[in-house]
Structure 1
Amino acid sequence: MPLSSDRPYTTVVLAMSADGKIADAQRSPARFSSLQDKLHLERQIAAADAVLFGAGTLRAYGTTLRVSQPQLVQQRHEQNLAPQPVHIVASCQGNIDRQLRFFRQPVPRWLLTTNAGAKQWQGKEFFEQVLVCETAGATGIDWTCAMAKIASMGLSRLAVLGGGEVVAAMLAADLIDELWLTICPVLLGGNTAPTPVDGTGFAAIAAPRLELLSVNAIAQEVFLHYRRQN
């Protein structure tokens, strides 16, 4: 459960190639993981009150992953949860194609953005909530403010599904509690291919440290579960 009522307990869930890439250099949709990994991802989504992903991730796929397995739908019902978690898109500028199939999926949709990004969406029916949290100088999203606002709206468990810039920003603000990383048997390479943690990077002495909780090899994939060390 949350370390503090000021923010949700946050878990990153990502699949990556054996050389640490979450997509190819063209940032194509990552289709290299197995059905087993998709089922794993859906279980993590089903356990969350909300999922969060960047606009780049949404543009790549055009959709989000809903909870569809009957046992997971029943599990949420028994826990008095809504059939689907809230799906939160993070976008500084709010530049999202309104024709994406995402906007026709039966899920609750929220937008996390800045004042500038909110202007084109407020008063529209595309998002049920538009959350505005911007850094000083309006250069980006204030993630500490964002997590506090999400928690204040009753969401205590958050799954972060990408991309690397979002994960990097949240790690830098010390807002990540756990990570699930699936290693897939493919090599993508590429200097510009995204990784689980992009951004400017961390100096080795200040790099976030992890505690390994479990390792599970299924067929050709390895499922790693980490907890962020304090």
Structure 2
Amino acid sequence: MTADGKIADVKRLHPLFGSQHDRSHLERQVAIADGVIFGAGTLRAGGTAMRVIDPQLIQQRQDAGKPPQPVQILCTRTGKIDSNLPFFRQPVPRWLVTSPKGAENWQGKSEFDKIIVFEADDGEIDWLKTFAEFQKLGLNNLAVLGGGELIASLIAVDLIDEFWLTLCPLVLGGLEAPTPVAGEGFILNSAPKLNLLSVERIEDELFLHYRVKR
């Protein structure tokens, strides 16, 4: 994110302000994960999944008994995603988490290897049941890449354990520019609190690692 806490500009274009150090850092985190979760807005902005490219990281995954790529998990209540996006041509396993109505858009099609449907009483995705299903399917370490609405939904049901934030040396501003956590926000007294585990400086970027206090 920028120094003023933005993850994209007011046009919500795909963020490219991180350095190569930041991109390598993200790839290392993705390489550790069993699955990578992201929302429809994040996919539309970039068009592709964040997959592992570095041959050494791929080898480390295989040495640990993991497949070369983590499962790429798209989360969208409506299920409305352009099937012509480059994401659907990437050599990665693809899962879809959606509502019953969203699943109707993809029934009988081959774009997704698995479709997971758990709907809460309010019509949104039931994240507790969904994450329990992930664990049953062998996904224990998950990386959530955004966007802010998805992250806010997972924080609200206490499903985020750690935050990795890269603070980049620029300011974007803008009331409508997105931040790492969106949604309705949290009241100060009930807001999630964090423990700072580590700080690393590489040139003008700061790499921050937090754990959620419980």
Sort the TM-score into its range (normalised by shorter chain).
over 0.9
Q: 1:161 aligned to 2:145?
A: yes
Q: Percent identity?
A: 56
How far did 1:96 drift?
A: 0.3
Distance 1:135 1:189 in 2: 35
Say yes or no: does 1:208 pair with 2:187: no
Structure 2 residue 37 is the aligned partner of structure 1 residue 52: yes
Task: List 4+ stretches of structure 1 deviating above 4 A.
Answer: none
Post-superposition Cα deviations, 1:13-37, rounded to whole Å, max 9, x if no partner, equal: xxx0110011111110000000000
Q: Work out which of the residue numbers 104, 126, 142 in structure 1 matches 2:111.
A: 126
Work out whether 1:223 is the aligned partner of 2:212.
no
1:4 alignment partner in structure 2: none
Higher relative contact order (CA 8 A, sep 6+): 1
Provide the rounded CA distance (Å) in 1 between the counterparts of 2:16 and 2:39: 18
What is the alpha-carbon distance in structure 2 between the residues aligned to residue 136 and residue 162 of structure 1? 24
Distance in 2 (CA, whole Å) between partners of 1:182 and 1:153 is 31
One of 113, 127, 132 as aligned partner of 1:148 = 132
Q: Secondary structure at the match of 2:129?
A: helix
Q: Secondary structure at the match of 2:135?
A: helix
1:154 and 1:168 map into 2 onto residues whose CA distance is: 24
Q: Deviations over 1:32-89 (max 9, x none)?
A: 0000000000000000000000000000000012111111011001001000000000
RMSD of aligned C-alpha atoms? 0.7
SS of the residue 2:163 aligns to: strand
Task: State the one-letter code of the partner of 2:189.
Answer: I
| Aligned partner letter, 1:191 | L
Query: Which structure 2 segments of 5+ residues have no match?
Result: none
Task: Give 2:158's aligned residue.
Answer: 174
- Match of 2:66, as an amino acid? L
Q: Separation in 1 of the partners of 2:210 and 2:121?
A: 32
Task: Give SS of 2:200's match.
Answer: strand
Count, aligned residues: 214
Unaligned 5+ runs, structure 1: 1-15
Note if 1:93 corresponds to 2:66: no
